[in-house]
Structure 1
């Protein structure tokens, strides 16, 4: 019974270790992505430091660095926890194998001793000849053959289990070293995080004396962001209405053409009186037909666009970045100001800081829904529909596409604009109809 429970326990641990290996792989990929973002951010900040930057911009950069460091520490901690579980699982397997080996070795030793005592050929023959019946003699011969075969099998099993124990022991040693390495990395990253936090505190203190001025700047930025969000929201709604109208007109034209063909075919067989009546009916129907209207805030999906939408949704978390390199400088959702929670910007997009002249690319196959310049700004934007999902690329200096163009994943749609202050950043939205979604959950490097 004990052996049965040990086997069940081992199976459970083995299944768990398979799941943990997959988790480790995902965490390793996430860690690599964070490290890449951190490296790109360091390069961008290094280049921007050569230009004059406001304290608020420096605070934003530092906040991004702190967030990336916290994400890296969190990922490393999860990896360490999984490694600890793997080490525990492998130790249990080794303990179980050691017990089994001890039992096997003891049995094998006893078998060898017996074989040694009965090693002479004469004793074996006497063992067979002393049988009372022919059947008993036959069974004794079979027993001797099976005994020899079993001894060989048991020897092979001992070798196999010893090799397995050695393999697990080597794996255990590697896991312990990996754990020590992760712990060291985590400690180093915590030191970097502390330095960044100290620098952030100093920057915040440096603007305390001009708190009113900076608070006014934050309020201005908050107002500008709300205005841009409102304008983009209107552009999206207008684009949806226009797209639905075009789709409705196309469908109506197709229906009308089919009806006209049917009427023409019927007219060819009709009498003059029936033809006259048919024309009067057609004119009356045309007058009574309502004008094509599209006032919905949802894209009307056809069979083809429904497939596009499903495909886009299925690729959540696997879509490429809209730029080849860069770092998220403004995340999705509420952004706190340096003074606390007095002023918050609720961002419906993410901002990706990158190098001047960086190419912007479509993150998925789709159709260009609209190309516009936001009123009162030089901010050029491109909207691409993927079924009822819409990706919005803001702050472009040049645009390479037109409304109605079909684009594929990573096709160039323009370049990122650089502000007068020297900041090059793409503002990127993902919407489902008019509902904003967090782009960071959808894209990956």
Structure 2
């Protein structure tokens, strides 16, 4: 019975581990589903960009995004397979121990029944009790027979229970192996699709390299436009600093309301709504290599979000509209203050707010612009804290 207790202890630990496994598996499934949705959406955007005959830079960005998302799914599948393999090994160990213990229980029970049967032939139970020398001995013999019967009954129940548990574990093992095989098939399919995407990527880069002079010209224009936007943002920052400087102390001080808004904005890091209801990030924050031009580095002060034609642009948090600008190449730009933080929305076709307006989180502030020559619909979005641009992906909800 010590062995059986050992089995039960392992089984309790196993059930605890099963709960953790179920949580991890659920989180992976949720993440995989979200990634697959992003891939489907990116493919939808790709179809829009491919309506033009000319190969576009935006087309390459979307293909790159697809590859990034596809790799993420493959990694998630690999991790899920690893989890399941660990679970399979645990169940196989439990089954092995259980089978050994069950065999021992059956052998012991069979021996006990054989002994009982042999003894029954020699004399029956009543004669065994009646042959007692006195009442005390008869009582003890009766108790012994009851205990023996109870022990046999417990052994039988233990065998039955262990057999049932074993059958359940074997079913679980079969289910897990089937799931593992399905995941391996899914992984192979994703890897094939990834290779196809990589072929498209190479083909697109090759075609774009034939347009290298145009790409360099466009990049220079974009860099000038971004520099103009940055100068405007820095001008607003200086104005805010001047307006909020305490005349007596000469120190920068926000109003109590602005401080509260800024504090609340910071508390919502990683929880802010996206500036578009649906979109994918095609160009991230910070310094990065140009995907086509060799030895060229891009320094992005924000993120570029590809979205659908006519998508609404939303404020990511409560705040005050500090500026509405029309800038060459950036179309319309809306800048919103959130205490010491600032959010910037560029490439708006129409604007629904004015300078000085108070806005709420998720309030629509305009519509995104679509470049019809390249069929691209991209919002450029920035977040600033005081005088420095910060990575917006850390602030938006996942």
**Residue of structure 1 in register with 2:75 after alignment:** 74
Question: For 1:411 and 1:163, how far apart are their aligned partners in 2?
Answer: 59
Alignment CA distance shift 1:157-1:373 (3 Å):
farther
TM-score (normalizing by structure 2): 0.82
3-state secondary structure, aligned to 2:274: coil
User: Paired residue for 2:283, among 321, 327, 330?
Assistant: 330
Q: Which residue is 2:369 aligned to?
A: 417
Change over 3 Å in CA distance of 1:124–1:183 after alignment to 2: same
- Quote the residue 1:373 is aligned against: 325
Query: Which of the numbers 425, 428, 433 marks the counterpart of 2:381?
Result: 428
CA RMSD of aligned residues (A): 3.6
| Pair 1:308 & 2:264 matched | yes
Cα displacement (A) at 1:368:
3.7
Identify if the C-alpha distance between structure 1 residues 440 and 133 changes in structure 2 by more than 3 Å, giving closer, same or farther: farther
Counterparts in 2 of 1:305 and 1:419: CA distance versus 1, 3 Å:
same
For the 8 Å contact 1:334–1:347, the answer to whether it is kept is yes
Q: Match of 1:349?
A: 302
CA 362–136 in structure 1, closer or farther in 2 if over 3 Å, else same: farther
Asked whether the 8 Å contact 1:367–1:406 carries over to 2, the reply is yes
**Cα gap change, 1:95/1:44 in structure 2, threshold over 3 Å: closer, same or farther?**
same
Q: 1:212 to 1:400 in 2, by over 3 A?
A: closer
Alpha carbons of 1:47 and 1:127: their partners in 2 closer, same or farther (altered >3 Å)?
same
| TM-fit CA distance, 1:442 | 4.6
Structure 2 match to 1:124: 125
Task: Quote the Cα distance in structure 1 between the aligned partners of 2:134 and 2:261.
Answer: 86
Q: Is the 8 A contact 1:396 1:417 kept in 2?
A: yes
Q: Where does 1:18-417 land on structure 2 (aligned, <5 Å)?
A: 18-51=19-52, 53-119=54-120, 123-132=124-133, 134-232=135-233, 234-235=235-236, 238=239, 290-291=247-248, 295=252, 305=261, 308-309=264-265, 311-313=267-269, 316=270, 319-339=272-292, 342-363=295-316, 366-368=318-320, 370-373=322-325, 375-376=327-328, 377-383=330-336, 385=338, 390-400=342-352, 403=356, 405=358, 407-408=360-361, 410-417=362-369
- Structure 1 pair 46–138 and aligned structure 2 pair: CA distance change class (3 A): same
Q: What does the per-residue CA deviation read over 1:1-46, in whole Å, with 9 as the maximum and x for residues that have no partner? A: 9888877766655444432322221111111111101101111111
Q: Structure 2 CA distance, aligned partners of 1:325 and 1:152?
A: 65
Structure 1 distance, partners of 2:128, 2:341, is: 86
Cα deviation 1:264-290 (Å, max 9, x = unaligned): xxxxxxxxxxxxxxxxxxxxxxxxxx4
8 Å Cα contact 1:66-1:193 kept in structure 2: yes
What is the distance in 1 between the residues matched to 2:6 and 2:75?
36
- Following superposition, the deviation at residue 226 of structure 1 comes to 4.5
Give CA-to-partner distance per residue, 1:210-237, whole Å, 9 cap, x none. Answer: 5344334334434433443454455466
Gaps of 5+ in 2: none
Q: Deviations over 1:343-368 (max 9, x none)?
A: 1212232222111221233455x334
SS of structure 2 residue aligned to 1:396: strand
1:216-262 residue CA offsets vs partner (Å, 9 max, x unmatched): 433443443344345445546655775x57xx8xxxxxxxxxxxxxx
Q: Which moved more, 1:186-195 or 1:412-421?
A: 412-421
Deviates more, 1:367-376 or 1:84-93: 367-376
> Given the two structures, how large is their TM-score scaled by the length of structure 1?
0.75
Check the 8 A contact 1:368/1:401 in 2, yes or no.
no
Q: Indicate the SS of the match to 2:371.
A: coil
**Mapped contact 1:395–1:426 kept (Cα < 8 A):** yes
Equivalent residues, number: 394
CA distance in 2, matches of 1:240, 1:131: 107
Q: Is the 8 A contact 1:309 1:388 kept in 2?
A: no
Q: State the shift of 1:187 in Å.
A: 1.4
Q: 1-side partners of 2:73 and 2:365: how far apart?
A: 32
